[in-house]
Amino acid sequence: MVSFILIILASLAFTGVIIRTKSITSGRKGPGIFQPMKDLIRLFKKGAVYSKTTSFIFQVAPSIYFASVLIAIMVIPLGQYKGIISFEGDFVFFAYVLGTGKFFSIISALDTGSSFEGMGASREALFSMFAEPAFFILMGSFALLTGHTSFQEIFASLHFGSYISYILGVLATFVLAMITMVENSRMPIDDPNTHLELTMVHEVMILDNSGFDLGMILYATSLKFAMYGALIANLFMGSFPIYLIIPIFFVIQLLFAVSVGILESFTARFRMNHNAQYILALSSVAFLIFLGVLLVLGQFN
């Protein structure tokens, strides 16, 4: 329960921090941290325009997408404190629930019959597909290291064994951060700000959404950022007491948001046709972590 509330809180400022960082690095004054949330509230109050091509899928998809992100957040623990949902193998549920949401967002893009949205949908389907094995191998490695198969147990017992686990944690952070970028269609994979439809992924999928639906989709992005941020934070929290965990959580979220901002300011986007290979390469980093775990466990002898 604690983690759910904290993630919601973090999500309120996350996108704002990214935008602020970007504006500072580029020497602009930039909007306030809560500006994206203000925009969202404005969106929630608006009416909507629907394409006459669309069917019921287009109407229900944003709600399901949003629900999937909320349910996924419920799975995430806070150090030794369980999330609202916790059971053996809950990270499989986590990944697949997000998958359901993604399925709906993809088909809702196809529902508009637009030439651009199909393009975005195609890319999103392919990219997120390649990110999935990396996530599972990462979690599998930690399961092997700790001997548990639920988020909470894995994170609670991650650092009991050896300090090498912190190094693995850093590698895992890289993988998770990259998965976050893929899932949210951010910088090295996709640039949400180009406004050249031919090079966009996620943004081009939601061209036809408006009003409340668009608000939900945009807020889901913030939620997803905070969700993966919480996962990364969990890698380092271990079994600290609660009065330490909450500050650590927010510091790591802040660091994550700032580094996303910096990353977005200083990197160029990949060429679209190399993206898939790049994302698949994440799996090999995950394999590295797996080999590291085998090393720690002394299975090479």
Q: With binding defined as CB under 8 A, does residue 288 bind another protein?
A: no
From candidates 207, 262, 263, 285, binder to another protein by CB under 8 A: 207
Q: With binding defined as CB under 8 A, does residue 162 bind another protein?
A: no
**Could you tell me if 53 and 113 are in contact, meaning their C-beta atoms sit under 8 angstroms apart?**
yes
Q: With binding defined as CB under 8 A, does residue 191 bind another protein?
A: no
Structure-token pair, residue 142: 């930690």
Q: With binding defined as CB under 8 A, does residue 48 bind another protein?
A: yes
Q: With binding defined as CB under 8 A, does residue 71 bind another protein?
A: yes
32 vs 147, beta carbon nearer another protein: 147
C-beta atoms surrounding 185 within 10 Å: 22
Q: With binding defined as CB under 8 A, does residue 270 bind another protein?
A: no
* Cβ contacts of 86-94, under 8 Å, gap ≥ 24: 86/150, 86/151, 86/152, 87/150, 88/149, 88/150, 89/149, 89/150, 90/150, 90/151, 91/139, 91/149, 91/150, 91/151, 92/136, 94/151
C-beta atoms surrounding 279 within 10 Å: 25
Residue 191 to residue 186: CA distance in whole angstroms: 6
Structure-token pair, residue 283: 């799996």
Q: With binding defined as CB under 8 A, does residue 254 bind another protein?
A: no
Q: Strand pairing partners for 81? A: 78
16 vs 120, beta carbon nearer another protein: 120
From candidates 33, 144, 246, 285, binder to another protein by CB under 8 A: 144
**7-46 mask for another protein (x: CB under 8 A)?**
-------------------------------------xxx
Q: With binding defined as CB under 8 A, does residue 221 bind another protein?
A: no
Structure-token pair, residue 27: 């020497």
Residue 244 to residue 179: CA distance in whole angstroms: 27
Stretch that binds another protein, among 25-33, 167-175, 179-187, 212-220 (CB under 8 A): 212-220
Phi/psi of residue 81, nearest 5 degrees: -90, 125
Q: With binding defined as CB under 8 A, does residue 52 bind another protein?
A: yes
Phi/psi of residue 27, nearest 5 degrees: 75, 25
Q: Which residues within the stretch 84-143 sit at the binding site for another protein (CB under 8 A)?
A: 85, 87-89, 92-93, 95-97, 99-100, 102-103, 106-107, 110-119, 121-123, 125-126, 128-130, 132-133, 135-137, 140, 143
88 vs 266, beta carbon nearer another protein: 88
From candidates 56, 163, 243, 266, binder to another protein by CB under 8 A: 56
Provide, rounded to whole angstroms, the least separation between the CB of residue 247 and another protein.
30
**Could you tell me if 83 and 93 are in contact, meaning their C-beta atoms sit under 8 angstroms apart?**
no
Provide, rounded to whole angstroms, the least separation between the CB of residue 133 and another protein.
4
